[in-house]
Structure 1
């Protein structure tokens, strides 16, 4: 980190455009190991209770911050519910449309492929026009499309609706994460990040329960589950309508408005709507390499989750001959481990370090591959619990890790787009596993040895994520203010900006 002179306000989280001269590159790689650890002077700011009690930071959230978190969490949970509603009904859909299971899975693949489009569209809208109404529009589209899925009569109609559904679904991660984390106190961001990410595991548990309750008991079958899933988001929309924009977004828009007013007063020509603003150009110059890194990192993470989850039910039912009830129990135990891991790891990442805890999770996960994949008795439940605790423990760090590395003004866009592009890259995970599996066929000749295949795949993925994380950056504790990457000279700082930032928020509104 370049030192800043005493006449300038120090900002240790400032990110500058990348340089590729030999000195900078050597210095960067030399700091990869020491930068894993949280400095002692930083740890000394926390009490022992704050470090070891993950519930302690949650007490710092006020009612307004909790409300924003819950709304974001519910949106992300229902994203998972809608996605897995198809995954759990692949056989039913194949029977309805008279298609093979492989053909039906194209509906899942289309969703994964088009999520990046949704992340781009809704990320731009969220950062430019606000979290509130973008969230509402996004959920409204999901409601309409999920109802439409329940009425499709042909396979082509199903694929068309799921394609649109993928676009709508792709926008929700970055938007929901920004809503949940925008105003979160810095000391609580880690544990809140872990709680937020496990909304996906919670959504899976919910859809498993409602699958048994609705699909198996309704004369409309899988269609009834799709119609039901369109109901709860109406409540989320009404709730979000009653809330304002987040404080962080309000402050961001006020500062941009103040800057625009100054430009007008100074006679600086305004950019056209189709031109990149100065802020956007600066963000591109500064964060292009960071964005590429985030996509590579998220590719590894998505391979890690898909590789450990997608074929695991098949391993249980086809290879280990588990009944539906026993398989459901094992999968539910695995998701409970996922939620526990995300909560604990998210909290301790503040004190251990984001990157270091991900690396620890990869090492422990690698050590747990054998009991997760090869134990055939009831001990497999423990293997599933602890492996998913490691996998989703790493995932619990991701929302805040991405948010801290993203440009503050485009946080929803960059976090959502990097996540979904990583998802797109990992959509080949099933194909890769099938290719590996061809070398390990089972005696029936129709299936392959899922245990060996998934063990090999997950070993490679853990090694990849560990390496990418170790070589990558970290910006733990960075604030979300759009001025984060600025250096202000105290002696020459603009008087208007200084007085503006020192005023209470209601007076800031009057200034703008």
Structure 2
């Protein structure tokens, strides 16, 4: 929402629709209108809705320059936390074959650990997300990352499969707390017009973690017990990020709130405002959970079993499959960064929809080629668009979130979506191993390619429809909102957060200047 001078030359628009069906109809129509429908508040508190043309894309270098040294430090730590989280997770998914031999279990049995990890991440997201909104971003993240590293070490010393599953379940609880605090800390101080670019880069910490895990797997070789070395590296990364975070200050939001004298008005003020927010924002919460469910199915279905697909159906060796996986996720890093940047001009929802539809078209080129080079190239471009859609998500979720709950709301909706999609790898493996296709040498092999291809088409179409019918609040200002529980949000909470924090715009020499 924006605050400008009373006089505007922009074309007036119909008010923002209220209700599920009216919002869906309006969102669908707006998808095909280049200008964005924006609610504007003037200096007298009067509001109206108008069409605003998106600003042209700026030089990325100039956007980078808008971030201060402190902003960059916070962003880098958030990026590293998300990278370590991804490395921890993929240390297991890319070594499914090794672990199945080590524990003498089927690959489907091993993916049960992936399911349990994803299933329990939502609990950690709720706990650490609310802790981040109540106490600040710093110490919840420090505790979170150090415990994650210790649980990676505990995984290494799991002598039985039952112990392995128990540790990975506990691991999921702490893994769930990383995302919300990481993206809140990294993005909450970014200038408005740099958000799309920084969001795209931040999200690719996940892909970068995958690349590092694949490189580690390549480096240790294909021996059965080499999986432990990869887990040692993962433990070091997580503990290292936790220790680094100790030496950085608290979030600017909490520091300024303390300076302004914002303190909890009552012991239960935070929980009262949290409860009121959930009552007011339950529709938005459900929408974000649906969107994140589709997107988590999207990424896990297209990547978790891809290394297994190349090892079994395409008969690549461990080194070739690891190299192809690394190049695949390099494409994800590039696509997520570029499309996140483009979303600042093209729109959050349009970018997600177009990326999802292009990935559908690429399915045959993704699963039919033979050989390391061809699979590397097709995997690169497939993940370019899969993670291109994901590159928009960190800032899109932040903009859709109630301003004072930007740690818990994105983290919780993301991880509940993860929980619902948790059986994805297990489903793909189970169906693939029940159907045989001809491998490169003519022998029967599990049908990983066809199963992943069909599933990804269905999921990508679901993402396109959900994003097309959903809301968008690109450019929303939230940096000056006091933390929840200080008593300053009660009225906004009770009104259902209908009023955004104003974005102050002054007219200087006939041009808008953002403050």
What's the CA shift string for 1:159-181, capped at 9, x where partnerless?
Answer: 22111111011100111111111
Q: In the superposition, relative to structure 1, how do residues 3 and 96 fare at CA in structure 2: closer, same or farther (>3 Å)?
A: closer
Change (3 A) 1:56 1:84: same
* Structure 2 counterpart of 1:228, from 224, 233, 243: 233
What residue number does 1:506 align with? none
Instruction: Give the match for residue 455 of structure 1.
Output: 453
**How many Å separate the matches in 1 of 2:129 and 2:314?**
43
Distance 1:106 1:379, change over 3 A: closer
Q: Structure 1 pair 285/363, CA: closer, same or farther in 2 (3 Å)?
A: same
Distance 1:220 1:452 in 2: 31
* CA pair 330-439 structure 1, distance change in 2 beyond 3 A: same
| Residue in structure 2 matched with residue 499 of structure 1 by the alignment | none
**CA 293–282 in structure 1, closer or farther in 2 if over 3 Å, else same:** same
The number of residues matched between the two structures is: 462
Q: Deviation at 1:289?
A: 0.5
Residues 246-272 of structure 1: per-residue CA shift (max 9 Å, x gap):
213334566682683xxxxxxxxx464
Looking at structure 1, the residues matched to 158 and 23 of structure 2 have their Cα atoms a distance apart, in angstroms, of 58
Higher strand proportion? 2
* Aligned counterpart, 2:481: 482
- Segments of 4+ in structure 1 off by > 6 A? 1-6, 483-488
Cα 1:439–1:178 change in 2 (3 A) is same
**Structure 2 counterpart of 1:293:** 287
What SS does structure 2 have at the residue aligned with 1:473? coil
Tell me, what secondary structure is at the counterpart of 1:442? strand
Say whether residues 1:81 and 2:87 are aligned partners. yes
Which deviates more from structure 2 when the two are superposed, residues 455-464 or residues 102-111?
102-111
Instruction: Report the equivalent of 1:242.
Output: 247
Q: Distance in 1 between matches of 2:23 and 2:289?
A: 24
Distance (whole Å) between structure 1 residues aligned to residue 336 and residue 455 of structure 2: 22
Q: CA deviation at 1:221?
A: 3.0
- The unaligned stretches of length 5 or more in structure 2 are 7-11, 37-50, 483-487, 493-515
In the superposition, the TM-score normalised over structure 2's length comes to: 0.81
Contact 1:336 1:385 in 2 (8 A): yes
Query: Which structure shows the higher helix fraction?
Result: 1
Q: Specify whether residues 311 and 237 from structure 1 end up closer, same or farther in structure 2 by C-alpha distance, changes over 3 A only.
A: closer
Q: Which secondary structure does the structure 2 equivalent of 1:362 belong to? A: helix
Q: Which residue of 2 aligns with 1:423?
A: 418
> Quick check: 1:358–1:469 contact (8 Å CA) kept in 2?
yes
CA distance in 1, matches of 2:54, 2:189: 25
2:156 maps to what in 1?
150
After TM superposition, the structure 1 = structure 2 runs for residues 279-358 of structure 1, keeping only pairs within 5 Å, are: 279-358=273-352
Partner of residue 47, structure 2: none
Query: Equivalents in 2 of 1:66, 1:476: separation in Å?
Result: 22
* Range 450-459 or range 160-169, more displaced: 450-459
CA contact under 8 A between 1:43 and 1:351: conserved in structure 2?
A: no
Structure-1 separation of matches of 2:300 and 2:158: 28
Mapping 1:52-451, distance limit 5 Å: 53-214=59-220, 221-252=226-257, 257=262, 260=265, 270=266, 272=268, 276-277=271-272, 279-376=273-370, 378-433=373-428, 437=432, 441-443=436-438, 447-451=445-449
